[in-house]
């Protein structure tokens, strides 16, 4: 999911359609509370009788709530040690991410897809198979570079690349601790 990128900092000139709002969510654009309030106010003013069920304001609020739910759960899961991430964690987060994306399945390389890889790795590790790290420091560095280029030289806090860096750092510390324990 992208950092909040308001389509317009001002109140909308016209009400966006439900399809336009869903399309924005599918693109990973996070809605802000101000955008939802502006759409709600504009719809109430134009209808004269409040907001309609299934209308733009209700759709924007629903998508905003789903995005916030995904972000809250993602924060909890990425704080876990990588070795404790389960398939249930990854599946739950993928479901929330799909809802936050307006019902669209998360793309390859999304946070939930990466967590799925980590969970798969953990299952293989418990079966005593030798498997390399799924998110390496090199992977994280490439993702940081790509996001930096895409965002004009900065990597947004909480971005996929930042999360990958965090996971790579935690994995490296864990691997180092395991090596010390073998000595």
Q: Is residue 72 part of a domain?
A: no
* Residue 10 phi, psi dihedral angles, 5° rounding: -95, 170
Residue 64 has pLDDT above 90, yes or no: yes
Total domains in the fold of the chain: 1
Nearest to residue 156, comparing CAs of 1, 3, 28?
3
Q: Is residue 15 part of a domain?
A: no
Confidence of residue 172 (pLDDT cuts 50, 70, 90): confident
Distance between CA atoms of 112 and 35, rounded to whole angstroms?
26
| Predicted pLDDT at 97 | 87
Q: Is residue 149 part of a domain?
A: yes
pLDDT (tens digit per residue) in 6-46: 444 444 478 898 899 999 888 888 899 999 999 998 888 88
What is the pTM (predicted TM-score) of this model?
Answer: 0.57
H/E stretch holding 90: helix 87-100
Q: Is residue 115 part of a domain?
A: no
| Predicted pLDDT at 34 | 92
Q: Is residue 33 part of a domain?
A: no
Domain encompassing residue 167: 132-183
Residue 5 has pLDDT above 50, yes or no: no
- Determine contact, residues 83/97, Cβ cutoff 8 Å: no
Distance between CA atoms of 148 and 16, rounded to whole angstroms?
30
Q: Is residue 93 part of a domain?
A: no
Higher pLDDT: 5 or 13? It is 13
Q: Is residue 34 part of a domain?
A: no
| Predicted pLDDT at 169 | 83
Q: Is residue 42 part of a domain?
A: no
């Amino acid at each position: 999911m992208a950092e909040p990128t308001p389509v317009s900092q001002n109140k909308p000139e016209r009400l966006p359609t439900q399809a336009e709002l869903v399309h924005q969510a599918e693109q990973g654009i996070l809605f802000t509370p101000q955008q939802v309030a502006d759409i709600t106010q504009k719809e109430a003013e134009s209808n004269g009788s409040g907001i309609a069920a299934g209308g733009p304001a209700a759709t924007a609020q629903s998508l905003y709530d789903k995005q916030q739910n995904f972000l809250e759960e993602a924060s909890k899961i990425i704080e876990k040690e990588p070795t404790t991430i389960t398939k249930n964690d990854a599946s739950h987060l993928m479901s929330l991410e799909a809802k936050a994306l307006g019902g669209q399945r998360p793309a390859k390389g999304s946070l939930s897809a990466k967590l799925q890889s980590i969970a798969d790795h953990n299952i293989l590790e418990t079966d005593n198979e030798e498997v390399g790290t799924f998110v390496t420091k090199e992977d994280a560095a490439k993702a940081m570079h790509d996001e930096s280029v895409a965002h004009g030289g900065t990597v947004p806090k909480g971005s996929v690349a930042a999360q990958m860096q965090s996971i790579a750092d935690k994995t490296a510390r864990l691997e180092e601790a395991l090596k010390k324990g073998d000595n």
